[in-house]
Amino acid sequence: MLGSVFYILNIIFFIGLVILIFSPIFLGVPFMPTHKKQAIRMIELAQIKSGMKVVDLGSGAGRLLFLAAKSGAQTLGYELNPFLVLWTKLVILVTGKQDKIKVFYKSIYDANIKDMDVILMFLYPPHMKKMVKKLQEAKPGTIILSYAFALPEWQLIKKEQGIYVYRR
Ligand X SMILES: C[S@@+](CC[C@H](N)C(=O)[O-])C[C@H]1O[C@@H](n2cnc3c(N)ncnc32)[C@H](O)[C@@H]1O
**Where on the chain is the footprint of ligand X (CB under 6 A)?**
23, 27, 29, 31-34, 56, 58-60, 63-64, 78-81, 84, 107-108, 122-123
Nearer to ligand X, 73 or 84 (CB): 84
H-run or E-run covering 126: helix 125-134
**Minimum distance, C-beta of residue 116 to ligand X, in the bound complex (Å):** 15
Nearer to ligand X, 122 or 166 (CB): 122
Nearer to ligand X, 104 or 154 (CB): 104
**Minimum distance, C-beta of residue 99 to ligand X, in the bound complex (Å):** 21
Nearer to ligand X, 38 or 74 (CB): 38
Which among 103, 93, 99, 109 is positioned nearest to 27, based on CA atoms?
Answer: 109
For the stretch 103-135, what's the b/e string if a residue is b when 16 or more beta carbons lie within 10 angstroms of its beta carbon?
A: bbeeebeebebeebbbbbbbbeeebbeebeebb
Nearer to ligand X, 10 or 95 (CB): 95
**Minimum distance, C-beta of residue 86 to ligand X, in the bound complex (Å):** 13
The whole-angstrom separation of Cα 150 and Cα 74 is 25
* Cα torsion 80, 81, 84, 87: sign: positive
**Minimum distance, C-beta of residue 7 to ligand X, in the bound complex (Å):** 28
The whole-angstrom separation of Cα 106 and Cα 122 is 16
**Minimum distance, C-beta of residue 56 to ligand X, in the bound complex (Å):** 5
